[in-house]
């Protein structure tokens, strides 16, 4: 089984607190693939606690938490990331995803707009904004956002 082989490699390479995050990210991704979301979130949380530069692992943890349906935790992590990296379109788009999953469409649109303001060259952010605006039945705004995305691609 390739997953078992990958797990053996990641476990061999993984040392708690090590600088290289690839082994812990690999382990967490395997856990998530196996639907062991709680274990993955816990492992990443322990690693985040040991780091000076917390953001890279926090981003992974936030995505795993959202995939697990842990929306409140994912939102909490995303909000902390927004304080650490206020100019990150990736963080704003994550917050947009979380808010949309919680049914807060206005909040999701607001965060997607912030991503386009931070990174106006980011076609993905414009597409997400257009999608959310269309879902909100704001057709004129959605068309503008989609046109902008097409210009950038």
**pLDDT tens by residue, the chain, 153 residues:** 888 888 899 889 999 988 899 999 999 999 999 999 999 999 999 999 999 899 999 999 999 999 999 999 999 999 999 999 999 999 999 999 999 999 999 999 999 999 999 999 999 999 999 999 999 999 999 999 999 999 999
d(CA 27, CA 64): 12
Three-state SS at 47: helix
pTM, rounded to two decimals: 0.89
d(CA 62, CA 80): 10
Give the pLDDT score at 7: 86
E strand or H helix at 107, and its extent? helix 105-118
Residue 57 in contact with residue 25, Cβ under 8 Å?
yes
């Amino acid at each position: 089984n390739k997953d078992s082989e990958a797990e053996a490699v990641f476990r061999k390479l993984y040392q708690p607190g090590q600088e290289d995050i690839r082994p812990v990210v690999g382990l967490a991704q395997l856990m998530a693939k196996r639907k062991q979301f709680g274990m993955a979130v816990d492992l990443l949380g322990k690693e985040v606690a040991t780091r000076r530069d917390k953001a890279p692992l926090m981003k992974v943890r936030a995505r795993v938490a959202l995939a697990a349906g842990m929306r409140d935790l994912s939102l909490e992590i995303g909000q902390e990331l927004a304080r650490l990296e206020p100019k990150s379109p990736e963080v704003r788009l994550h917050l947009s995803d979380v808010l949309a999953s919680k049914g807060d469409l206005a909040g999701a649109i607001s965060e997607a707009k912030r991503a386009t303001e931070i990174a106006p060259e980011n076609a993905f952010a414009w597409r997400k904004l257009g999608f959310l605006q269309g879902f909100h039945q704001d057709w004129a705004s959605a068309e503008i956002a989609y046109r902008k995305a097409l210009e950038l691609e």
